[in-house]
Structure 1
Amino acid sequence: MPTGTDANGKLRWGILGTGEIARVFAAGLAETERGTLTAVATRSRPADDLAEAFPGAEIHIGYEALLADPNIDAVYVATPHPMHVANASAAIAAGKHVLCEKPVGINAEEAETLVEAAKRADVFLGEAFMYRLHPQMARVCALVREGRVGRVRMVQASFGFRKEFEADHRLFANALAGGGILDVGGYPMSFARLVAGAAVGKPFRDPVAIKAFGELGETGVDHWTAAIAHFDDGLVAQLSCGVSVALENVARVHGEAGTIEIASPWLAGGRAGGPTSITIIDADGEREVIDFPRERHLYAFEADAAAEAVAAGRREFESPGASLADTLGNMRSLDAWRSEIGLEYASERAAGAA
């Protein structure tokens, strides 16, 4: 079991993977209050720019070396989707706390395996939906709970961008569990579930039915898709995502008395941090803007929330972060979305045939 902090009370982080998201997280760690980057691991010969991208971090060749490092308390898993469960499980087995990039598995069954492993080992496990830990999401939930726009009846959320098709790119490769739903669809789905929960005083709520349509490309993954999620009180969420289409990338909560609009729900003004805002529009069209000036790097919030949980002896995020039950509910909802459009990965078919 890791001690939890260094001599200065900071959680000592190691990163598995050296790609783009690993570098973004490292930049976020530099602006945390409760964490420090200690080491990073690459599977092969380190690139020439690793020292610059991960300043002050020890560079390990091979993930096993980092997991064996006694100076690491927590591990951030920044590897491709199909490797998340294996890499996070190895970190858990080594007694490390884990923050895993989304999705924690390519389906709910994988996620359940990981959650059970973390519970048995008594370590923290969190899914890295960084947007959930930015202050604007806590404010959105508070506005919904307060009934600021009345009873919530509809939610709209989208996350999509256009990437030129490359069959072997992680966004399109079947072997890498590519496609819009697993890459960015978890954001609008988790937002809808968060708001649906807040509307009835709960941390989250799962839909009772999901209908969807989408476009599968030549590699068999979704290029774009839209879904309707229906909740038990009649609340309806309109969700869309894609890796081949530029979407609006906003979120709206529609109540009987008005609308809450979040202009930058997922990146909150930018990964590096930036100003963002929430707009409340009442039934008469009057607008109130709630500004959120830049505080720090977007990814610093989730790292500090994880460190705070560890320090308090908790083994999961508190809302609006994703608890373990919330993570599993989101994965089941994504499974249902995928099923609606006929998206099954080759690895899943192979596992089913075994």
Structure 2
Amino acid sequence: MYDFDYKIVKLIQRYFADDLTPGEEQELREWLAGSHRHQEIFDAIRQGENLEDRERVWKQTNKQQALNHFEKKIGYQRRVIVRRLVKYAAVVMIPLLAVLSWQWLNDEEKVLHEAPVAIQPGRMQATLTLEDGAGIPLNRVGDEGFSISQSGARIRNTMNGIVYTDTINTSGITSFNRLKTPRGGEYNVTLSDGTKVYLNAASDLKYPVVFDKDCREVYLSGEAYFEVAKDSKRPFYVVIDAVKIEVYGTSFNVNTHYNNQVQTVLISGKIGIKGKESGLHEVAPSELVEFTSDGKFIRQEKVNVLPYIAWRDGQFIFENESLEQIMSTLSLWYDVDVFYASEKLKAHKFTGHMKKYENINTILDAISKIMEVNFIIKDKTITVMK
């Protein structure tokens, strides 16, 4: 499917008329660099050996029908363009559009069968992978949830997620399970010691089916909120790449999605964090600590914890957050891809509070009104434009 919108059509038309401003030329270059498909379309138009023939075809077509087919082909949805990019006018019906519509009108059957892909907020879904490699798809269920035995532990799927029985491993053999959420998914697990882990979208938690008598250690990729059960004899460790967190009974959030860093925010209790290339950093409640993924210390400071844990309570709270990071968060939760017409748009800042399970159009509309940017939704792709 071609990634066209009316603004790009106008830019290409003005390019061939040698009428682009320096800013418009840069915008066109950025659009071309954004996808190999964009460059292919542009090259095909530039070749234009039979442009005159196609213009003659255009003059013989029904203009409104061509416009309708053009909109369908590019996935144009009036209700999801937060701000109109251009007004409907005769200038849109240009020879360039004639070339494109001539191609698409000759593929009418395919166009008529295309339908927009609905973008839904995330939901409770994950995959539980057992020690033997068997994968079990999960979603929130009631009393009909499965129940299995493994390594002396009992595992049940409930309305509150996966629950393991409270057992201590005395065999000396440790079996590991993995809980993995996709983009657009979340899930909870209660580990065998009573520790509760809330796993956000696109995250992976590896953990022992039963902890041994000396240590409790889990491995995380993505984002999770931990409520660690107190056990003075068995410290709890969370390992993320080259970073290790030591806990004794604490609530905290860990996120590796943020700028490819390890970001930890302590809610209550006390933790210590050690990177591969740094000593132990003790963390107090309401403090944030960041490391690079290879274990280098970045910063430690007091913060308002609410924006970091709001996702667990069904909210998005953005405080002076860049548009790039906001759209990264939304892309994981709504399982969409995001593209920018200009790199400069990524640095725009936004502050807002909205519901996590809200229709994505409502969220984008709120951002658009404040930041003066436009969002175009085509299937499961969001394009951000000025």
* TM-score strictly above 0.5: no
Structure with bigger strand share is: 2
Between 1 and 2, higher relative CO (CA 8 Å, sep ≥ 6) is seen in 1
TM, length-normalised to structure 2: 0.25
Q: Larger Cα Rg: Structure 1 or Structure 2? A: 2
Structure with bigger helix share is: 1
TM, length-normalised to structure 1: 0.26
